[in-house]
Amino acid sequence: MSERLKFRFLILALSVLALSACGPREGGKDRPTAAAEPTSAAPVAEPATPSPAAQAAPSWQEAANAEYTGVFDEAVVLRDGTWEGEPYAEGGASAPRAGLAEDFLLSGDLDGDAAEESVVLLWISTGGSGTFDYLAVLDRDATGAAVNRATAPLGDRVKIRSAALEDGRVAVETVQAGPQDAACCPGQKMRRTFELEGDTMTETSTEDLGRMSLADLAGEWKLVRFGADEAVPDDVEITAQFAEGVISGRAACNRYTGSVTAGDMPGDLSLAGPMAMTRMMCQPPLMEWEQRYAQALEGLAQYSFVAGQLVLSWRDESSGGSLFFVRVAEAPAAAE
């Protein structure tokens, strides 16, 4: 055999050995590669429900569509902040009603569990002249849904001047009927504190703050609603500042000032004379708001408080209404 032929046989032998090494065998059969091995799909994990501590406190919108207990014999379910039961008499107009104060919501940890609860102001009417107010606590259940955990009564026609959470307690300053007050016209100021104990909201302390007076209006207020349903646009600035029997502020365009005086009944208030106002001209929409506001002040009749807002009521020969303000700044403390 020639040297050239021997070389070809050697190359062929080495090639066979190389192919055998690339296809390992087990028991005389080829092993399947890893890609050919059957695989099982990994289980899809269900989305975990966040723990109550990791969730935000119930919102006002959630509260406006929640179920409440402890105000009527049966639970009531609000829809968009209101509820109305069946008339007391078939075909009658008198029926039980309930609702939420739109501008009232406190949030914080009331029971020390690191999760925040919410407190809303719930009102009910049984069909008569009285309106009964309640503080209602909302928490979250295991699914994360907002639930009414506790409810505490405030009383008939009680007005809230301010409310806050202090060290896990709910502190409210109210105006309510004193011993000599008619139910229509409360004038006694109280500071009342409530604590959440388990599933019960308990009033733990009360403090008499004296009689309501014009001094309670001291400071600066901003108009947010003209009547219960008409919000003041963001670009319209109307303010009222009270100090020592004087009301002043901005009326959308011009500045104004006038004297006010209290009446015999709690909350009575009226202008003691014509208002003075600057004479600058503004765009027609602002002038229209200014005219409406000035006309309302001329018929000023009463002041009150609703869910922490100042309410100035007015009347003229043909109509009447209410102006709703939020506090901008407290009056500066008097120098000693």
Residue range 323-334: average pLDDT? 82
Higher-pLDDT residue of 29 and 121 is 121
pLDDT reported for residue 169: 97
CA distance 253 to 239: 11
Tens of pLDDT along 195-234? 999 999 999 999 999 999 999 999 999 999 999 889 999 9
DSSP-assigned states of every residue in 132-143: EEEEEEEEE-TT
Burial 306-320 (b: 16+ CB within 10 A, else e): bbbbbbbbbeeeeee
Confidence class for position 43, pLDDT limits 50, 70, 90: low
pLDDT reported for residue 213: 95
Domain with CATH 2.40.128.270 in the chain: 215-330
Residue 262 neighbours by CB under 8 Å, 6+ apart: 213, 214, 268, 269
What architecture (CATH level 2) is domain 215-330? Beta Barrel (2.40)
pLDDT reported for residue 49: 56
Tens of pLDDT along 241-257? 999 999 999 999 999 99
**Residue 13 CB coordination number (10 Å):** 10
β-strand 146-156 against 132-140: which pairing, if any? antiparallel
Confidence class for position 27, pLDDT limits 50, 70, 90: very low
Amino acid sitting at position 245: G
Tens of pLDDT along 162-192? 999 999 999 999 999 999 998 889 999 999 9
